Every structure is written in C-alpha cells, then in structure tokens.
Structure 1
C-alpha cells in the first residue's frame, strides 16, 4: 500500500498536470499581448480564470482569440478592478483589425474613484463609422463579484446583455453601415485610459494603487468560424442566436435600462453632432 506522503505527492502531480494541460489549452485558443508577464492563467480544478494585471511599467495587458468569427454569441464572466480604478479601462470586444474601415463591437468599463459607480460603455463601429456609444451605470458593483456580459451579433441586430438582461440592441438597416462582412477576433484587455476614461480624462490613474487586476472566467463562443480559405463554419445550434431579435419583453427591458441606468446616449449629444444626428437615431 502506498504511503500517505506518496499519495499526496501523486495527487499534487496529477493536479499540476491538469493545470498544465488546461493552461496549454488556453494558449491554443488565445494569443497574449506583450511579454505575457501580466496575463496569468489560474486553475483550481473546477474553473479556469485569467487575471490581467497592470502596473505603470506595463501600461496594460490583454489576450485575443486566435479564431476569427463572422456572427456569433459571445459571453464571459468578469470581475473588475476594485477600489480606486480611475483611469483604467477593462474591455471585452470584437474587432476586425486596425484599419480606418474596421468593424468593432465593444463592451468597455471605465473605472472611477472609490465609492463611485463604474460606467459600462457599449459601442458599434461599421466600416470605420463609430461614435455610437450608449453608456450605463449598472445596478450592482461589477468589482464585487463575477457577472456575465454577452454580445449577440447576427445579420439582423446586435444585442448587449448583462446577466441575461438585454440593455441595448443595435439594428441593421439596409442603407446604413452595419458590421456584416469583416470577420472579427475577440479581445480581452486592461489598459491605461487616463486621457479619456474617468470624467472625460479629468481623473488620471493613481499608480500608487497598482497593480490593478481584472479577472475573466467562463468564456463562451457559439459562433461561425472563418477558415484560412475564407469559408465559414457555423456550429450546430447556431439557429438559437443567428435569427434572434428581442421580443416585446426584451424591448421593455432595454427601455427600462435606458430609463433607469443610461448615462449617455449619442443620439442625444447635440454638441457632438452639430450637423445632425446619425440616421439610425430617427428609426425604430
């Protein structure tokens, strides 16, 4: 019979192997930005987490899906930077590239001083046409625990959800730009947005509070993958999101979010659009 110590060593070795395999699986799916020193894969045998850490030297951290997608349902659980997070930006978004005509679908969290609420910024870019932000104060503290954030992107509309609660829908109109032709990767980042993030840049990062840490877990993508040849492969069950639009109840929930949580609507910003609001602002 094996001794207790040998059993313990064997158990630890098995756990280490499981963690190593899980971590390898992470690096099979994602590319890590920079040196990778500020991206840490955490495995407890049940749940895999990824922690992004930012200090003054690094300026930020992130990881990106290797796969590219054209339409899908994407979600992740996030626990944001706690305490004084002013100047930090934590994000979960899709993007086609860096060119002027790129497409992008954003969920970004702009940090704030301790005791003040985070701002969740949602935005859509289509063929380089952006500036379509809706911003919200959430009905909970997103730094106290994990919450689920989801983007549904299909040929009809884009739906933003928080803990399965729809807070925004962005519709496609035949004569207006919409992200429908450029494959996108999924990005997860923590970065220094002092010039913009908190009170329009008035409050900068306090580096004495560093390191800043955000945790991700439970990433899920049910999406059409674009292969090297440009062909698209959609998974079984994609009908569940490919044709999804909000029903009356979902639209009522969006109206509730706009009424009680919204802090900025680009369709009400006359200073930003002195020559007139974008065309979709007048359509329902």
Structure 2
C-alpha cells in the first residue's frame, strides 16, 4: 500500500470517527514490567501497575522524524507521592544509555491527593536537558482520561493538554541552541525514584495508570535523510493560532509553577530570545523580594529508560490544521 492509499484510508478512518480506535499491538509493544502491564478491552486500553517489586512500560514499534503524537491517560488515584507516570519521545535506542540524546516528555509527579499532581515537562536536545517547566493541573487527572499531545516539526515542539498548548520549544539553532533532530520513538511508563521524588508509601498501592488512544500521526523515519520527514513544515504548522496563543498565555499565567528560564536564563540562549516580557517582569519582582509563590525550587533532571508504531501517514491535508480538538 503506497503513501496516498494509506492517506486515503486514514481520511476515511478519521471521518468515520475511529481515529483513536487503533489497538495497542498495532503501534506499540510491552517494553518491561512483565505482568505489571495488562492489555484490556480487547486491546483498546493498557494498564500499567507499580508496586514495591516493579513498574512497567511500553514503546512504539518504529522511529519517527516529525509528527503529532497523542495519548489518552488516566493517572493513579491513590496517595501517589513518589510515583511518576510518563509519556514521551526519545532518540536513545531501547536499552541504551541516554547520553547526548534528544527527548521531550510529560512526567506526572504524584502527590498526596489527585489535585496535588505536578506535571513536569522537559526537553533534551543533544545534551542533558535541565529545561524543566512545571504545571499544576486544572482538573483531576485520575477521574477520567485526558489527552496529552506532542507536536514536533523543524520549527517547534508544542506540548498540549486537551487541545490547549502549554509549552512551546522553538528551533533556535541559528543562535547556537541544540534542537531535536534525531529519529525518536515513543515510550510510556510508570516508575518511582526515591532519589528524585522521595519515598513511596507502598501501603497505598498498587498504583495503576491507564492509557488508550494508540493511533500515531507521524513521519516514519526509515531513511538517513532528515528532509524526508519535513511533511509537517507547512506555514500553518509554524506558529500557534491567535486562539492557541491566548490559551497558551492563560495556562502559563495561572498554572505554571516552575520555569527553567526564570531560574537560570543566562545558562540557556533560548531563554534570552523566547522568554516572555511579563515573565521577565515577574522574575525581577521575585528577585527583589516580592511574592515568588508561582515558582517552586529547581528540579533535578532524571531520566530512566522507561523503545518504537506501524506507520500511517497523515490525513492532515483533508482536514487542515490537526489541532481541531481545541475547545473554546
């Protein structure tokens, strides 16, 4: 089946309302955890469980060079302090060492109740990262599934929650900033780190996370030529729309609790270019002794290999900008 035949298939598939009905084993496979990973609902849902013996994780079957990657997630509802639930893209081969690699990720840090979750986002670009931005969620992430999305092309990486952009990392290679350029696969996991997040109260466990929506809309990276994956670089994919920009500003103003650019702007050239004026002002006020409750202490970078999707090219041309899920 050639590219256009697959695209037509996807158009019909999306139009019929089944875009997220791909089964787990079509695009993913279990990576680690043994019986701590369960495939439920005839392959439509995956359950990851962690107890004092093991966590679990899965990964996509193929690598990608750009695209739009989404996952529906429902997080553990117990007192989950110390538990980390993830969804991310990474260039390191499965089982390899994460050194000078590319990665961008959602990491949900558990708390003493469902509304105490912290979302940690990070970007690694041929280095060790340290580009954390953290958010409090404006909903209970344990009560139902929510959609977490990563959009990646040659211009920017955008993090979305339920269609709302919460973070943008631009391609600033023109000023010497590294930008993810290696092929990457998708990984998802549940794990814990005493060193990073403190001890877990295992009497509250086991801790269970659920995933669904296993479709992938990305460029299958099966060539050493990066330009083969520049399909996502149309004008409409280079910037947020005005409505997206408004929602982006609102989320960051009301729910962002830590920004590496506020903490160490001189250490990152992109901060001096992309750091919004209003955040610079707030940072100056904090440094002068005003209320700094909007910014928590810095986070220690932590990466644990938490592996690879049958390729279905995009049906974007039939529907315009893919972020139609945005609710106004």
Normalising by structure 2, we get a TM-score of 0.70
- Residue 16 of structure 1 corresponds to which residue in structure 2? none
- Residue 280 of structure 1 corresponds to which residue in structure 2? 270
1:129 Cα deviation from its structure 2 partner: 4.0
1:262 Cα deviation from its structure 2 partner: 0.5
Task: Measure the CA separation in 1 of the matches of 2:272 and 2:75.
Answer: 35
Deviations 1:111-160 (A, max 9, x none): 00126421011111000141111100011010111000000011000111
Task: Measure the CA separation in 1 of the matches of 2:106 and 2:238.
Answer: 20
- Residue 30 of structure 1 corresponds to which residue in structure 2? 28
- Residue 39 of structure 1 corresponds to which residue in structure 2? 37
Task: Measure the CA separation in 2 of the matches of 1:79 and 1:121.
Answer: 16
Q: For 1:126, what is the secondary structure of its paired residue?
A: strand
* Aligned 8 A contact 2:100 2:127 in 1: yes
1:30 Cα deviation from its structure 2 partner: 2.3
Q: For 2:126, what is the secondary structure of its paired residue?
A: coil
Task: Measure the CA separation in 2 of the matches of 1:93 and 1:134.
Answer: 15
Aligned residues: 248
* Aligned 8 A contact 1:110 1:120 in 2: yes
* Aligned 8 A contact 1:92 1:188 in 2: yes
Q: For 1:37, what is the secondary structure of its paired residue?
A: helix
- Residue 126 of structure 1 corresponds to which residue in structure 2? 125
Q: For 1:33, what is the secondary structure of its paired residue?
A: strand
Q: For 2:88, what is the secondary structure of its paired residue?
A: strand
Q: For 1:223, what is the secondary structure of its paired residue?
A: strand
- Residue 181 of structure 1 corresponds to which residue in structure 2? 181
- Residue 248 of structure 2 corresponds to which residue in structure 1? 254
- Residue 67 of structure 1 corresponds to which residue in structure 2? 62
Deviations 1:200-235 (A, max 9, x none): x3xx211111211000001232111112x5467669
- Residue 196 of structure 1 corresponds to which residue in structure 2? 196
Q: For 1:224, what is the secondary structure of its paired residue?
A: strand
Q: Which has the higher strand share?
A: 1
* Aligned 8 A contact 2:153 2:232 in 1: no
1:75 Cα deviation from its structure 2 partner: 0.4
Structure label with greater radius of gyration = 1
- Residue 11 of structure 1 corresponds to which residue in structure 2? none
Match of 1:80 among 50, 71, 75: 75
Unaligned runs of 5+ in 1: 1-21
1:180 Cα deviation from its structure 2 partner: 3.8
Seen in structure 2, the aligned counterparts of structure 1 residues 38 and 184 have a Cα distance that, compared at 3 Å, is same
Q: For 1:86, what is the secondary structure of its paired residue?
A: coil
1:29 Cα deviation from its structure 2 partner: 2.9
Q: Which has the higher helix share?
A: 2
Query: What is the RMSD computed on CA atoms of the aligned residues?
Result: 2.5
Aligned counterparts, 1:52-63, within 5 A? 52-58=48-54, 60-63=55-58
Normalising by structure 1, we get a TM-score of 0.80
Work out which structure has the larger RCO, using CA pairs closer than 8 Å and 6 or more positions apart in sequence: 2
Counterpart check, 1:265 vs 2:263 = no
* Aligned 8 A contact 2:114 2:140 in 1: no
Task: Measure the CA separation in 1 of the matches of 2:114 and 2:76.
Answer: 13
Counterpart check, 1:154 vs 2:153 = yes
